Amino acid sequence: MRSAVPWLSLMCRRSLRTSSALFKRDYYEVLGLGRQADQKDIKRAYYQLAKNITRMLIRMIQARLRSSRKCRRPTRCCRMRPSGGSMTHTAWLEAAVAVPGSPPQLVAEAVAEELFRRIFRDAGFDFSGFNNTDSTTQGFAESVFGFGPAKEVSLRLTFEEAACGAVKAVQVNAVGDCRKCRGSGAEPGSRVVNCPQCNGTGYETLSTGAFYMRSTCRRCGGARRAAATPCTECGGKGRTIQRRNLQIVVPAGVESGQTLRVPLSGVGGGSTEEIWARIEVTPSDRFRRDRADVHSDVE
C-alpha cells in the first residue's frame, strides 16, 4: 500500500541512514586529554600512547615466540626437514629476531624497543625533555660540575637555627648562560645565520618508511637561526651547567623532613628553575621540641 504522503515515506527511508559523524572518535578522548589541552600536552600524550602500543606489540611478539618454540622443540631432533620454497611466519619471526646468547624472553622486547628507538631516537629526537615543563633547561651542554642541574639539596641545621631561623649558603649546579659565548651559542668572532638544517623554518620532518614525524629542529631548537661556528664550550647550546652560590632563607620553626621551595631566578644567567631544600635538624642536648613548644629539662 502506497503512502498518501510521499514525502513522509521518503523521510522514513532517510531516517534509516545514520550519519557517519556519530561514529567518529573524539581525538581528545583517544589521547585521554581534555579540549583545553595545548600543543605540548597533545605531543606528550601522543608519544605516551605510542609507547603503550609498543608494549602491547612486545607482549604479542613474546606470545608468538613462545608458541613457535613449543612447535620447534618436537622437530629439533628430527633429521628430515620439510623442503619448501617459503618459511612460515613464526619461523621467519624467530629467525629474524634470534640473537646468539640472548635469553628468548628478552628477544621480543628488544626487537620492539629497537624498532621504536630506530624510528625516533636514532634521528636525534630526545623525548626526555617532555617531562620537564621548563624548556629553557633542555639541551644544555655537559660540564665538569656534572651532567644535570641540582633538583634537591640537603640542608643541615642546628636546633637553634631551626627554631629561630637562619640564612644558609650552599653551592648548587645551575644552568646558566655560557661564559664564553654569553648565551649566543656562537664561537667568538662567528656570526649567526639561518639554520642550515631546517632552512630557517624551525622544524624538520623525519621520514622512516611509513612513519612521518615533524619536530623542533635539533640544531636551532626552533629559533630558526644558528651559529655558523658553534661555541666549543657549550656546543652551540648557549647554556652550560655552572657551580653557583645560593643563599637559602630558612624560616623559624622548621622541622626535619620538611622541604623548602627555592627559586633560582637570577642564578646562572636568569634561570627560571627551582630546587627543593630538604631540612635535617640536628638534635640538641639542652632542648627538645614538642610540636610548637620547646622544652628544657633541668635537674
Q: Residue 2: inside a domain, yes or no? A: no
Instruction: Please tell me whether residues 150 and 172 are part of one structural domain.
Output: yes
Q: How far is CA 37 from CA 31, 138, 215, 295, in A?
A: 10, 22, 19, 53
pLDDT tens readout for residues 1-59: 454 545 444 444 444 444 444 455 677 788 888 888 888 888 888 888 888 888 888 88
User: CA 88, CA 75: separation in Å to the nearest integer?
Assistant: 15
pLDDT digits (tens, 9 = 90+) for 75-97: 554 444 444 444 454 444 444 44
Residue range(s) defining the domain that contains residue 109: 27-74+88-130
- Asked whether residue 142 falls in the same domain as residue 244, the answer is yes
Bridge partners (DSSP) listed for residue 107: none
What is the spatial distance between Cα 43 and Cα 31, in angstroms, rounded to a whole number? Answer: 10
Domain co-membership, 65 together with 103: yes
Shared-domain flag, residues 124 and 161: no
In this predicted model, what pLDDT tens digit does every residue of 189-202 receive, in sequence order?
888 888 888 888 88
- Round to whole Å and give the CA distance between 90 and 274: 52
- Whether 154 and 271 map to the same domain: the answer is yes
280/252 same-domain check:
yes
> Considering the domain boundaries, does residue 225 fall inside one?
no
Report the CATH number that the domain containing residue 142 is assigned in CATH: 2.60.260.20
- Residues 49, 114 within the same domain: yes
Count of beta carbons in the 10 Å neighbourhood of residue 231: 23
Furthest C-alpha separation in the chain: 112
pTM for the whole structure = 0.41
Query: Is pLDDT above 50 for 226?
Result: yes
Residue 76's pLDDT is: 52
246 and 120 inside one domain: no
pLDDT band of 72, cuts 50, 70, 90 = low
The rounded distance, in Å, linking the Cα atoms of 69 and 71 is 5
Whether residue 170 is found in the same domain as residue 103: no
Query: Which of 66, 100, 130 lies at the terminal end of a domain, its last residue?
Result: 130
Q: Is residue 79 part of a domain?
A: no
Q: How many domains does the chain have?
A: 2
How do the residues of the chain divide into helix, strand and coil, expressed in percent and rounded to 5? 35, 25, 45
Which residue is it, cell 664561537? 187
Assigned domain for 260 exists: yes
Whether 97 is covered by a domain: the verdict is yes
Write down which residue in 130, 161, 194 finishes a domain: 130
Q: What's the pLDDT tens digit per position in 227-282?
A: 888 888 887 778 888 888 888 888 888 888 888 888 876 554 445 577 888 888 88
Residue 150 shares a structural domain with residue 255: yes
The whole-number average pLDDT for the span 150-161 is: 82
